[in-house]
Amino acid sequence: MAGSTPCRRTRPRRPTATRASRCSTSTDGRTRATTPRHIGWLRELYEDLYADTGGATAAADGAFVDYPDTDLADPARNTGAPWHALYFGDNYRRLQRAKAPWDPRDVFHHALSVRRA
> For 29-64, how does the pLDDT look when each residue is reduced to its tens digit (9 = 90+)?
666 656 788 888 888 888 898 888 888 877 767 787
Confidence of residue 94 (pLDDT cuts 50, 70, 90): very high
Pick 10 or 94 by higher pLDDT: 94
- Confirm whether 13 is domain-assigned: no
- Confirm whether 1 is domain-assigned: no
SS3 28: coil
The domain of 44 spans 34-102
CA–CA distance, 45 with 25 (Å, rounded to integer) = 16
- Confirm whether 77 is domain-assigned: yes
CA–CA distance, 77 with 69 (Å, rounded to integer) = 11
- Closest by CA to 57, choosing from 91, 15, 114, is 15
Q: What is the pTM of this model?
A: 0.70
Count the domains in the chain: 1
Q: Are 43 and 77 in contact (CB under 8 A)?
A: yes
SS3 80: coil
Query: At a CB cut-off of 8 Å and minimum separation 6, what does 54 contact?
Result: 78, 79, 80, 81
- Residue 90 DSSP class: G
Percent of the chain residues past pLDDT 90, beyond the cut:
25
- Confirm whether 81 is domain-assigned: yes
- Confirm whether 16 is domain-assigned: no
